[in-house]
A and B are shown apart, each in its own frame.
Chain A
Amino acid sequence: MRPVNIVKAAEGNWDEPPKFPGMTNAYFQTLELARDRLLKAFED
């Protein structure tokens, strides 16, 4: 188990239901960023 902690600001239309694009995008970006960090950690 490899923990990763990330803080990212939501951008754009965060308060627009039902899709909440800003918050969804922030979560998507953190998933990608976490994966990059994890793979980089194993490269080093």
Chain B
Amino acid sequence: MTPYRSIRRVVAGAAIAALSQVATADDWSLRLPKEDKVIYRGLINPDRAGLGTGFNMMYGPGLVGAFVVLAGHALVVDEQKSRQLRKLQEDADKVLLPYQEMLSTFSYPDLMRKALDGTLTAGGKKLVDFSAKPGAGWFIESSPVFAMPAARRLAPCLELSLAWLAE
């Protein structure tokens, strides 16, 4: 059975009951990222960068205007634009300098343990190593990255990629 079908089976098996009931029946395994320390970066303002389409635009509460994130897929653009983007990212990352010592104390195990403890899932909840393989229940991969706007009065935003797998 493919993972996709397997997830469908788990959800359908619960008859799409109340979300809390589905969650209660499941155990969560939240996989730690490869890196130990939480990753931060600066946000690039696209208005100043003169960029076209094809980049991650970020909008939301706490953000003034829109910002662009230099994501992995942005590297497929031509080499000249890649160099430009890398320079922009290096410049944007300077906003982190005053916070570097403080932020370096924050690790993914700390972040994820506290967040996991607060989830509504009533089943088992555990952090697993990056090398762990999916077992029974929900297996969640996540890559949280915090991005800091140039205006320091604004809080950073979290860009999170998650992948869920159920056996």
Contacts and interface: CB of A to CB of B under 8 A. Distances in A.
A22 B12 CA distance: 35
B164 A30 contact: no
The dominant DSSP class at the B interface is: mixed
B76 interface: no
A35 B23 contact: yes
B33 to A, nearest CB: 12
Nearest to A36: B19
A32 B142 CA distance: 13
Given A4-B162, A7-B157, A31 B119 contact: yes
Contacts, number: 128
Contact of A30 (B4, B16, B63, B158): B158
B: interface residue count bin: 35 or more
A14 B156 contact: yes
Given A18-B106, A23-B146, 5 more contacts: A1-B164, A7-B59, A11-B62, A22-B155, A42-B16
Instruction: Give me the 7 closest cross-chain CB pairs, A-B, nearest first.
Output: A9-B62, A28-B115, A9-B157, A42-B11, A10-B155, A27-B115, A26-B158
23 contacts: A2-B3, A2-B7, A2-B163, A6-B158, A8-B60, A9-B158, A11-B61, A14-B155, A15-B99, A17-B102, A18-B110, A20-B111, A24-B111, A28-B115, A28-B119, A34-B160, A34-B162, A36-B19, A38-B164, A39-B16, A39-B22, A42-B12, A42-B16
